Amino acid sequence: MNVLFVCKYNRFRSRIAERYFNKINKNKKIHAMSRGVIRGDYPLSKVEVGIAKKMGIDISGKPQAMDIELLRKIDLIIIVADNVPKQVFYTTFKKRVLLWRIGDIEHTDGKDLIEKKVKKIMMKVIRLSRKLENPSFIKRIQLQKIKAKKNHIIGR
């Protein structure tokens, strides 16, 4: 199973979710990655990198944008943002999209607020990880993907 964490730019939120999920995930049949609807091009601040590092999460690397080839491989999308509408994925993914409304990191956000957002993402990732341990949840996602392939162009 392939899980995609998405935020607007793949600068911070989706990368935190991906890296933390991969860190705690024990099921090697589940792979997580992250992308932005738009590829971000401005660098992370030292504060953002430092807070992630303090919490044991390495968010180094360049932001990446989604592409159709990647989407063909995805089973479940998690939107880790309050500024990416679920409808972007509705036609193809319908019931295979979860929305976590997490605000973007702003330049005016202090360390405490950024840390609070990271902790919120981490708690949601823990809950998702538990959900993915349930075989019936995975089966439902797989059936939805088969149904989507029959009804839409993706994956053909």
So what's the pLDDT on residue 139?
92
Model pLDDT for residues 86-144, shown as the tens digit of each residue: 988 877 787 899 999 998 887 777 888 889 999 999 999 999 999 999 999 999 998 88
So what's the pLDDT on residue 22?
95
Task: Specify the higher pLDDT residue, 153 or 90.
Answer: 90
Q: Kindly give the residue spans of alpha helices, DSSP state H, lying in 61-134.
A: 68-73, 90-93, 111-131
3 neighbors 75 (Cβ within 8 angstroms): yes
- State the sign of the Cα–Cα–Cα–Cα dihedral 25, 30, 36, 37: negative
In this structure, how many other beta carbons lie within 10 angstroms of the beta carbon of residue 56?
A: 10
So what's the pLDDT on residue 150?
74
Give exposure, 63-72, as e/b (b: 16+ Cβ within 10 Å): bbebeeeebe
So what's the pLDDT on residue 131?
93
Q: What is the pTM (predicted TM-score) of this model?
A: 0.88
So what's the pLDDT on residue 32?
97
Assigned CATH for 2-151: 3.40.50.2300
Q: Which DSSP symbol is given to 133? A: T
Task: Give 90's contacts (C-beta < 8 A, 6+ positions apart).
Answer: 97
Q: How confident is the model at residue 152 (pLDDT cuts 50, 70, 90)?
A: low
47 neighbors 94 (Cβ within 8 angstroms): no
- Greatest Cα pair distance in the chain: 47
Model pLDDT for residues 22-53, shown as the tens digit of each residue: 999 999 899 999 999 998 887 788 888 999 99
